[in-house]
Structure formats: structure tokens, C-alpha cells
Amino acid sequence: MTSIQTESRSGSRSGVGASVLRPDGTLKVTGEFAYSSDLWLDGMLWGATLRSPHPSAWIRSIDIGPALAMPGVFAVLTHEDVPGEKFYGLDRRDQPVLAVDQVRYQGEPVALVAADHPETARRAAAAIVVAYEPREAVVDPRRAAFDPSCPPVHPDGNLVRHQPVRVGDAGPEARMADGAAAEVVVTGEYEVGMQDQAFLGPESGLAVPAEDGGVDLFIATQWLHVDQDQVAPCLGLPKEKVRLSLAGVGGAFGAREDLSMQIHASMLALRTGRPVKIVYGREESFFGHVHRHPAWMRYEHGATADGRLVYVRAEILLDGGAYCSTSPAVVGNAASLGVGPYEVDNVRIDAYGVYTNNPPCGAMRGFGAVQACYAYESQMDRLAEACGLSPVEIRIRNAVSQGSRLATGQVVDSPAPLAGMLRELAAMPLPEPSTTGPSITGPSITGPSITGPSIIGPSIIGPAVTRLSSTEPPAVPDLRSLPGGVAQTTHGEGVRRGVGYGVGIKNICFSEGFDDYSTARVRVELLGGEPHVLVHTAAAEVGQGLITVKEQIARTELGIDKVTVAPADTSVGSAGSSSASRQSYVTGGAVKAACEAVRERLDRLHADGPGLSLEELLERFGPVEETREYRHRPTFPMDPVTGQGDSHTQLALCVHRAVVDVDVELGLVKVVELAAVQDVGRILNPLALEGQIHGGTAQGLGLALMEEIQVRDGRVLNPSFTDYLIPTILDMPPMRLSILENPDPHAPYGLRGAGEPPTLSSTPAVAAAVRAATGLELPRVPIRPEDIALPAATPTPA
């Protein structure tokens, strides 16, 4: 018997593979979307947080009297008022709800206030008197890791995790499997600054006390159930009395995996018996969430004369700041992916995560793989130059493919067409030479350095550099196309063009044995005489378009066009975090599985009522509902000594080419074009996918050229979007995209997570292009103008 559901499935034009528009898209661009900061209840109070001004200090006393005496203040709370456990954390419960006897970073929460007006709450918080005894702050991660005399940030020391990877003999005597020895050795030291996620919607939420003694929390987060797991014990409540619902999220990128004000708002609501809303301002937001780990890396690559890798040695040091957060997993990613998507028989990697009194660091898009990628890609460019090969050719000669074995011993068991991706990228047309002024017109712009095969020629510094100069009469410049833009910093003089490449490999989903799953409940019923699908998960929509994907999967599997996605909350099973590029994979898999279960029940009902339409079946038998969990295949922890193990469930590749114009006199950079090739397995929504690749690329560009939290002696110097710079629409260049579909047989629909990989490869591509234009080593990102600007008398490459 043919299933009526199968017949109707074929007619859906808005299922998997279609560019279905997002239901929240119009509301967001018109300013009508309700974010968590827009939440409101009559009679609610406003919460405020007092934070430490010191990166490291003992707390000798706290006097809340002046705050309590202020009119309009309903509650002032310290650590003594925490009703349950005083510590929480994602990996280790090492972070206090409110500082107990000491503070470990600037901005650590010390006390809370609830008042009838936000300004009253802020003034009351400022009136609290705290007696601090400042002490030596541990701000040097290398000292924290390796100096026995360094003060411990935590009682058990400063080491969060050390993860080695050992394969073969990664030293001067190393040999390849065919006996070849290293004839060329390149070394380098690299640094990645502290990047902020820079989401536009600051931390905010509303806690409402409930009649059963519990609390209902409406919050912008990435992971409802792990928030619940941490909040409930600190409130001294069972989990079922702490109910979380997802409020409108204004971006996340990893920063909302950790708690911010969830426990604080709930404590104030339970103490006062009234709803309490907390909204961070922009400056407080910089102190209220984790950031990307800054990294210091030493690499040594040995290769044969023809560019085949013989060995890689690396030391990767990640500053986790004052508390653990997700540092252990970040270290695992950096170690397991530390040589990149390249075949090499001999590897020695040591990755470390350490505690310091710097701002806490945790999840951010790319999650440990970003830092390592910048270093190993910089090394590949050095190796290309030393071997007399192009940056593309050196990568092709060492590229992994299906069947390759990674440094951890894990076999790549799905398509990995890296060599072909690189060839396709190199074959893409380069942007036209700029003709905006005297220094960027004339024959030199069309010479061998910019067009033709030599753009991937023997050096990233020599032939790939063009001096944009001419003796022709000046043209009227379009300043928007030049470094510095309309600021009139240049009309083309001192501007050079460079081209660079970057490759990145990123694990998808959670790794190292984590029980990674998602839950979906799907219901089919008649509404208004028509079949309707309701999809309910706890997966957080943080701007990535997950709601749309869930709708598309339901339409594809059930053939019913009318689909509603219920708001995410903790009344349904966990969906895990909206991170690790995992939600399309695991929540998509759960929705698919639940839809399949519903379809099977409908088929059985159809057998009991042959000849009935779907509407008639539902009218006779009522709604059909099924709940399913979906787990990807198991992963395993890395061996603590050798680093070996099948630690990842899926790997994704992206390659970038960057073209930049650099004003070497002022140190200004204009990214002229970015091109990317990415394999996504199966495209679920082309338009949304392009947005993910563009967005990830933008964050990679930001890390390469402008984004960094400036920290000095443990203190943040630039907690604002005035001084913390992020790319704007004027900074993002045109992009060429090629999106490949080589299905992963282990994943739902063959898809491959796509949100993070472009963040990896874009950063080293931009940095390599700036190196090509300037001839400078530039071992650190973000690249600052003072890193580039050359004295007028300095000779320039021909």
C-alpha cells in the first residue's frame, strides 16, 4: 500500500533544499522583534550587579547598609544570601554565584540589588561599600603554566588541562613512512589576541517567582537545560521548579553558553516575591560573558625539499582567565586539530589551558581550532616560501582526503576533497585592479603578480607583491575603494596589493565522549479543518536560522505545509547547546526521527482506515504525537598521554582566498575581496547557508585586522563598541562562494555543520595577504596599523 504521507511529501516546495525565508527576518530588520531586553511585566523590579574593580583581591568586608537605606530599594544580596550551592560552572563548578572571600578578575559579581527603577538599582549598587585588599594578579599565562613560584589562582594550581599528542618521532631524526627525512625546517612563534563575540543584544532576562515556590526564567541563552542544571542547585530548588523559556536572542557565538545573570535575577525574584528584570549595558556586557582564549603558539615544521611534511612540533598555550568555563574542551580541540588538515607521520603537540586573573574565556565560534589554524597556516606559508612552492601547491601536496589519518589516529571516513577545493579556489578570477588614483593605475597592476599563474607562484612575499604606482596622470579617486576610505588618508600612493590563502578544519558537534543528543516532539493534528504540524524542541534559535530548518524538515518528512515551531523551553527534553555547528545535525536529526515516527503511526492508522484522506484519519483518530532523541555516533576521549582516539564525530573544511590593498605608510588595510570554497555535505537552505559563511568570514576578518579586547595588568581597557572595533558593512568586501555537496553518510541528510569553518580559514588568509603586500612577518593577529607602517626611507619590494 502506498503511504498517503509519502505521496504528499513530494509536493512540498518549501522543504529541505529550498531557500525558505526566516519567519523572524522581517521583524528583526524592521525593529519589531521582541528581544530578551524587551521583556516586561507589570510590577517588576530591576536588578543591578556590583562588580569588582580589581583583577585579584581579598574581600575583607561588605557593607550593604547604604544601599538598603535608599528609597525604592527592595533587596540587597551577597554570597551569604545564596540559598543553595555557592558555586557553578559548565565543566567544573569553580565559579562563585557571588564572590565569597576574594575576587579573581575585574568585573566579578560581588553583590546584587533589586529596585523599582533601573537607575535606582545602579545607584544603590554603587553605594555598597566593599573593603578590598588587592594582591598580586597573575596575568602572564606562561608564568602561570610553567613557573613554580607563580601564585595559584585556584587552590589546585593554575593548570586547567594539558593535552599532548604524540605520533612517531617529531624531531630532527624524523622520517616519513617511505624513509624520507626533513630537508627544510621552518619555525615560528604566533599570537592570537582576545576576541569578543560582540553580539548586539546584551545579556538580559526576566525572572518570575511562581506559586509553587519555584521560578520561571525567560532568558537569552544557548543551552536551556544546562542553564537549568546550574541554576537549580544554586537556588536550592529541584530542577522541575526552575522552568526556563527562551527569550529573543540578539546573537551568541558561544558567549551565552555560560551563565550571566540567570541565578542573580532568580535570587532577587525569590527574595522579593516580584518579577525581576536584569539588562546589562554594553560596558557591563564585556565583563559579563567569556571571550575567545588568547593564545601563544610555537611551531616547527620539517619537510622534504619538495614540500612533503615529515614532522610537526607545536606548543599551544591558551589563557582561560579566572575560571574554567569550557577551557578543557577548547584545549582538546586545539590539540587534536593542531596540525590542520594535513597528512604528517610525526607529530608532537603540547596544548595547555591555564588559569590567570585575566577575564574568563570560554566558547567562541571556532572553539580552539581558530587559534591553532592561524599558526599552522602561517607555517604552511613559510614552508611554501622555503621550498619554492606556491601557497596553494604546498597545501595540495599535504592535503588530507577520505581515508587519511589525523594526528590523533582518527581516520577521515567521509568525503574530504581538500585538494580539489584548493584548485577550485585558485582558479577563481581575481578582482579587477583598482583604477582610482595615480598609484593604482598603469601597467604594473596587470603584471604577473596580480594576474596569471604567478599569483600562486613561488613566494608569498616576492612575486605576489605589487607596488601600485604609475607615472600616468592622476585619475579622480573613488576613496571608498582605498585603505582609509573617505577619510582622505590616501589617493593611492603607498598602496600595495597582496593575495593570501587559508585552510581550516573544524570538528562538528561535541567531542571526546560527550553524550551529545537532542530531543524533538512532533505533533500532527487538525486545525481549522487542515493538517498542521507542531514541532517542539529546546534548541536555542540564536540567529542562525534553526527555526526555519526545523520547519523545512517537517515539511519534507510529513508533506504538510502548515508547520509551527513552538517556543523553546525546558518542558521538552534537552536539545543541547546551539554551538559546535551542531543543531542542524542533532536537532535536525531529532526532528527528522520524530517526523518519521509520526509518519509510521499515520501509515498504521491508514491501514485501519483504507481510503481515508489524512484529514479524515486525523478527524477519526485524533492528533498523532511522537517524541524522539537523536544521538550522533559515539566519540571517545583523547588519550591523556598520546592524544590518540576517535574524538570527533564529523569534520568540516573551508578554504579562503583574500585580496587586500595595504597603505604601508599608514598601516591601513582594505580587504578588496574574499573568496571561499566550503563542503557542507548537503545544503538544507541555500540562502541561510550563504549567510552563515558570510558571517563566519566577517568574524575571521575582524580577528585578522581589528578585534581585540585590550587587557593590561588584568584590566580591560576598551569595554565599548567605540574602542572595541568590529567589521561594519563598509569593511566587508564582495565574496565569491563555491558551496560543495559531498554527503556525509553518517549524518542526517548527509549534512555537514557549516557555521564555524569559515571563521577559521578567513583569518590566516587575510593575514597572509597583508604579509604578501608588505613583506612583513606579522606573527600576531589582529594586525595593527603600527605593525605595518613603514618608515618613508625603507626600501620596498620591487
d(CA 110, CA 107): 9
pLDDT band with cut points at 50, 70 and 90 for residue 472: low
d(CA 293, CA 146): 18
Which of residues 721 and 493 earns the better pLDDT score?
A: 721
**Is the predicted pLDDT of residue 457 greater than 90, yes or no?**
no
Percent of the chain with pLDDT over 70: 92
Q: What does the pLDDT read at residue 108?
A: 98
**Is the predicted pLDDT of residue 690 greater than 90, yes or no?**
yes
Mean pLDDT of 240-247: 98
Which of residues 326 and 798 earns the better pLDDT score?
A: 326
Q: What is the per-residue pLDDT across 629-656, written as a single tens digit (0 to 9) for each?
A: 999 999 999 999 999 999 999 999 999 9
**Is the predicted pLDDT of residue 451 greater than 50, yes or no?**
no
The answer to whether the beta carbons of residues 181 and 258 sit under 8 Å apart is no
* Distances from the Cα of 25 to the Cα of 247, 338, 392, 550, angstroms: 16, 38, 39, 16
CB contact burial 302-331 (16+ within 10 A = b; e otherwise): bbbeebbbbbbbbbbbbbbbbbbbbbbbbb
- According to DSSP, the β-strands at 563-565 and 530-536 are parallel
Q: What is the per-residue pLDDT across 108-145, written as a single tens digit (0 to 9) for each?
A: 999 999 999 999 999 999 999 999 999 999 999 999 99
**Is the predicted pLDDT of residue 271 greater than 60, yes or no?**
yes
Mean pLDDT of 38-60: 98
* Distances from the Cα of 321 to the Cα of 160, 259, 292, 555, 719, angstroms: 10, 16, 10, 45, 17
pLDDT band with cut points at 50, 70 and 90 for residue 487: confident
Q: Give the three cell numbers for residue 351.
A: 596544548
**Is the predicted pLDDT of residue 469 greater than 90, yes or no?**
no
* Distances from the Cα of 204 to the Cα of 50, 87, 150, 219, angstroms: 16, 21, 37, 7
Which of residues 4 and 214 earns the better pLDDT score?
A: 214
Q: What is the per-residue pLDDT across 712-745, written as a single tens digit (0 to 9) for each?
A: 999 999 999 999 999 999 999 999 999 999 999 9
Q: What is the per-residue pLDDT across 771-789, written as a single tens digit (0 to 9) for each?
A: 999 999 999 999 999 999 9
Residue type, 538: A
**Is the predicted pLDDT of residue 454 greater than 70, yes or no?**
no
337 strand-pairing partners: none
- According to DSSP, the β-strands at 184-192 and 780-781 are parallel
DSSP 8-state symbol, 181: B
Q: What does the pLDDT read at residue 476?
A: 59
**Is the predicted pLDDT of residue 237 greater than 90, yes or no?**
yes
Mean pLDDT of 602-620: 92
d(CA 37, CA 345): 52
Of the listed ranges 351-365, 471-485, 572-586, 667-681, the one predicted with least confidence: 471-485
Number of other residues whose CB lies within 10 A of the CB of residue 527? 13
d(CA 695, CA 206): 29
**Is the predicted pLDDT of residue 456 greater than 50, yes or no?**
no
The answer to whether the beta carbons of residues 545 and 576 sit under 8 Å apart is no
**Is the predicted pLDDT of residue 522 greater than 60, yes or no?**
yes
Mean pLDDT of 526-530: 95
Please give the angle made by the CA atoms of 225, 249 and 199, to the nearest 5 degrees. 115
Mean pLDDT of 303-311: 97
| CA 497 and chain centroid, separation | 30
Report which of 596, 553, 752 is spatially closest to residue 17, judged by C-alpha positions: 553
